[in-house]
């Protein structure tokens, strides 16, 4: 490396509409223009996909500084005293034009305006213009750009092309081919990101039709991303189709709790009802993608097997009665605590406080599945790292609670507190559960809740706020999108109540108060707070756990130190 230059070598200065900006070499004009606050409309270009340049919406005027062909000396313009710019008479595509030294771009010239009007008109002539019944209305690029860059009237008096209106491309995606503007984003996504090359065009010209290859279906676990990136209402989510106008929906940031990847999500709800979940861009975690399975998780909120009332011995009771029963059982001693890798950092902190107050160890249940190398990792708990960071556990969890089972058999444990974990799924037999009193805090009915002495219902991730630590040791927060069922207390309230009773110290149950304690007591989280955590998360110092043999394969933005065998198929 040479001595620090004033301008790093990989930065080039380009001029966009008269504004100079230094951008990394190779940045395309659309991205460079964004940096100076200039919007270049586009449909087919997507920052995470290859460039095909087929929509022609991003046409711009391009020029290069003039040099004398013989001497290579700059040609100056006597009128301005600056180097002359040779403007190319043909418009160029912004997406396919990369920044090079001295590149000049015009996005506001009459030629560019004419190009945009022309392309907009061409895109609309065979488009059904059924915005009033189209799901994309309100978040449709064609609608927005037509308003901003179109002529505002139609000169088309012919018959529009007729294409299939409701093709089921797969179990979750329905296609309206008439709305399709043939940008090929979905094709490129399937091929390049999902690695499932199922989509393609048939027929030619304006009759080109998007479809699946014969005998294939768009059924990979990332198929709904094609709906997100579709700039028009052609690809629609079969689940969300015709359910709600998007402008009525409220967006709440969330985290996909399926695995340790922690894909960032947007939860869309109205009046306490969730309608859909879409990815939230985080270039360090999930780019602009998320899995289909993660989008369907909101259905658990209204599931039939949801636990809605506190119970003692299977009979509904008042919340305070259930809590008292739980406290009495815990106070009686011989307690074992089973925490959860699905609990938030805050809940795990309280679980740890409870274990400390009762002077008992806590265990965790690990869930392992096949990673898909994309956004679902082998570690199917969203927050095992959180349990390590808060000190709830010090070693990696196991899939089976064998030591707890032997303790029960040996009669050392009389009461088991499970924070949302189904103990039978973790290897405890029904007979073993029958020997102890189980206190179950959970959201849904299962074998453990059936066998429990005391059941305290809790909230799903969509009904509470909190944070997770993902596989990169990135602390990410999620927020409450909808209120929980009537009568079900927040998990933090339930847990802090148990802690306060056991330790005889009042423990805060609100995120702000709780984080004051967390920041003070948990070293890796010192100085942090839930409120001030950035939307893209905060990476913690993970050196203390670097040597743990985590069961993780490669994902989109994560590479394990060494891949344990047979983790990825």
Partner 1 sequence: MPAPQQRRLIFAHIDEPGYTKDLACYLKHGGYAVMKKAFTRKPEELIDEVKKSGLRGRGGAGFPCGVKWTLVDRKSGKPIYLIVNADESEPGTFKDRYIMHQDPHQLIEGTMISCFANNVKQAYIYIRGEMPHGARILEEAIREARDANLVGQNILGSAYSCDIFVHRGAGAYICGEETGLIESLEGKRANPRIKPPYFPAVLGLYQCPTIVNNVETLCHVKHIVDMSGEAYTKIGTPNNSGTRIFCVSGHVQKPGYYEFEAGKITMGQLLNEVCGGPLPGRTFKAVIPGGSSAKIMRFGERYKGKRKVGTEMVDYDWGVEDVPMDFDSLGMIGTMGGSGGVIVMDDTVNMVEALANINAFYSHESCGQCTPCREGSLWMKKITTRMVHGDAREQDATLLKSVADQIPGRTICAFGEACSWPTQSFLAKFGDEFKGYADAKKTKVPAETPLI
The contact set with partner 1 (CB under 8 A) reads 51-57, 59, 89-91, 93, 96, 114-115, 118-119, 121-123, 125-126, 155-156, 158-159, 161, 181-182, 200-201, 203-208
Q: How far is the CB of 127 from partner 1 (least distance, A)?
A: 10
Q: Which is nearer to partner 1, 3 or 159 (CB)?
A: 159
Q: Which is nearer to partner 1, 121 or 219 (CB)?
A: 121
Q: What is the spatial distance between Cα 142 and Cα 515, in angstroms, rounded to a whole number?
A: 45
What's the sign of the alpha-carbon dihedral 165, 166, 170, 173? positive
Q: Which is nearer to partner 1, 107 or 282 (CB)?
A: 107
Q: How far is the CB of 476 from partner 1 (least distance, A)?
A: 37
Which H/E stretch holds residue 73? none
Q: How far is the CB of 66 from partner 1 (least distance, A)?
A: 20
Q: What angle do CA 545, 548, 550 make, to 5 degrees?
A: 115
Q: What is the spatial distance between Cα 509 and Cα 347, in angstroms, rounded to a whole number?
A: 10
Alpha helices in 241-341 (DSSP H): 292-295, 319-331
Q: Is 53 helix (H, G, I), strand (E, B) or coil?
A: coil
Q: Going by C-beta distance under 8 Å and a sequence separation of 6 or more, which residues neighbour residue 383?
A: 260, 341, 342, 343, 344, 345, 348, 468, 469
Q: Which is nearer to partner 1, 157 or 562 (CB)?
A: 157
Angstrom CA distances, 265 to 281, 288, 305, 422, stand at 8, 9, 25, 26
In the block, residue with structure tokens 């102890």: 436
Q: How far is the CB of 223 from partner 1 (least distance, A)?
A: 22
310-316's contacts with Cβ under 8 Å and 24+ in sequence apart are 310/454, 310/455, 310/456, 310/457, 311/452, 311/454, 311/455, 312/453, 312/454, 312/455, 313/453, 314/450
Which H/E stretch holds residue 30? helix 29-35
| Phi/psi of residue 264, nearest 5 degrees | -80, 135
Region at 32 (left for phi over 0; alpha for psi -120 to 50; beta for the rest): alpha
Q: How far is the CB of 104 from partner 1 (least distance, A)?
A: 17
Cβ–Cβ < 8 Å for 488, 402: no
Q: How far is the CB of 279 from partner 1 (least distance, A)?
A: 27
Q: Which is nearer to partner 1, 206 or 402 (CB)?
A: 206
Burial 251-284 (b: 16+ CB within 10 A, else e): ebbbbbbbbbbbbbbbbbbeeeebbbbbbbebee
Q: What is the spatial distance between Cα 559 and Cα 569, in angstroms, rounded to a whole number?
A: 16
Q: Which is nearer to partner 1, 54 or 334 (CB)?
A: 54
Q: How far is the CB of 161 from partner 1 (least distance, A)?
A: 8
Q: Which two tokens stand for residue 170?
A: 């797969």
Q: What is the spatial distance between Cα 345 and Cα 211, in angstroms, rounded to a whole number?
A: 44
Q: Which is nearer to partner 1, 92 or 251 (CB)?
A: 92
Q: How far is the CB of 230 from partner 1 (least distance, A)?
A: 16
Q: Which is nearer to partner 1, 164 or 272 (CB)?
A: 164
Q: How far is the CB of 155 from partner 1 (least distance, A)?
A: 6
Q: What is the spatial distance between Cα 198 and Cα 195, in angstroms, rounded to a whole number?
A: 9
Q: Which is nearer to partner 1, 100 or 394 (CB)?
A: 100
Q: Which is nearer to partner 1, 96 or 138 (CB)?
A: 96
Q: How far is the CB of 71 from partner 1 (least distance, A)?
A: 23
């Amino acid at each position: 490396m040479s001595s620090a230059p004033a301008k790093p070598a990989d930065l080039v200065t380009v001029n966009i509409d008269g504004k100079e900006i230094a951008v990394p070499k190779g940045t395309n004009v659309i991205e460079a223009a964004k940096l100076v606050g200039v919007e270049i409309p586009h449909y087919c270009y997507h920052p995470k996909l290859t460039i095909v340049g087929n929509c022609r919406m991003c046409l711009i005027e391009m020029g290069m500084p003039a040099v004398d062909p013989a001497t290579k000396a700059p040609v100056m313009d006597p009128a301005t005293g600056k180097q002359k710019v040779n403007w190319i008479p043909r418009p160029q595509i912004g997406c396919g034009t990369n920044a090079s030294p001295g590149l000049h771009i015009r996005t506001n010239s009459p030629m560019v305006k004419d190009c945009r009007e022309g392309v907009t008109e061409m895109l609309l002539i065979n488009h059904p213009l059924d915005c009033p019944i189209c799901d994309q209305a309100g978040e449709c690029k064609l609608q927005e750009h037509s308003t901003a860059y179109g002529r505002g009237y139609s000169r088309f008096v012919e018959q529009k092309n007729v294409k299939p209106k409701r093709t089921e491309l797969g179990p979750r995606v329905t296609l309206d081919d008439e709305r399709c503007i043939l940008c090929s984003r979905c094709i490129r996504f399937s091929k390049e990101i999902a690695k499932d090359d199922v989509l393609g065009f048939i027929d030619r010209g304006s009759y080109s039709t998007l479809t699946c290859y014969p005998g294939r279906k768009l059924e990979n676990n990332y198929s709904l991303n094609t709906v997100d990136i579709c700039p028009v209402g052609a690809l629609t989510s079969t689940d969300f189709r015709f359910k709600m106008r998007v402008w009525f929906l409220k967006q709440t940031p969330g985290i996909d709790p399926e695995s340790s990847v922690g894909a960032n999500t947007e939860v869309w709800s109205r009046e306490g009802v969730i309608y859909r979940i879409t990815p939230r861009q985080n270039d360090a975690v999930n780019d602009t993608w998320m899995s289909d399975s993660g989008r369907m998780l909101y259905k658990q909120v209204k599931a039939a097997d949801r636990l809605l009332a506190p119970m003692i011995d299977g009979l509904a009771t008042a919340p305070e009665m259930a809590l008292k029963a739980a406290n009495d059982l815990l106070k009686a001693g011989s307690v074992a605590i089973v925490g959860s890798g699905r609990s938030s950092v805050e809940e795990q902190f309280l679980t740890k406080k409870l274990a400390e107050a009762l002077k008992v160890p806590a265990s965790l249940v690990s869930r392992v599945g096949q990673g898909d190398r994309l956004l679902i990792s082998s570690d199917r708990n969203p927050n095992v790292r959180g349990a390590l960071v808060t000190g709830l556990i010090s070693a990696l969890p196991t899939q089976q609670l064998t030591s707890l089972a032997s303790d029960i058999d040996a009669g050392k444990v009389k009461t088991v507190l499970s924070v949302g974990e189904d103990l039978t799924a973790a290897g405890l037999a029904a007979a073993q559960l029958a020997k102890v009193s189980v206190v179950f805090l959970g959201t849904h009915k299962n074998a453990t809740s059936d066998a429990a002495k005391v059941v305290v219902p809790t909230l799903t991730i969509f009904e509470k706020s909190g944070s997770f630590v993902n596989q990169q040791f990135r602390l990410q927060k999620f927020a409450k999108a909808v209120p929980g069922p009537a009568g079900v207390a927040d998990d933090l309230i339930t847990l802090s109540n148990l802690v306060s009773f056991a330790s005889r110290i009042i423990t805060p149950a609100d995120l702000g108060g709780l984080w004051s304690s967390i920041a003070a007591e948990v070293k890796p989280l010192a100085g942090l707070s839930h409120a001030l955590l950035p939307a893209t998360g905060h990476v913690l110092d993970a050196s203390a756990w670097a040597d743990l043999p985590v069961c993780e394969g490669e994902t989109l933005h994560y590479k394990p130190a060494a891949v344990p065998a047979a983790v990825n198929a």
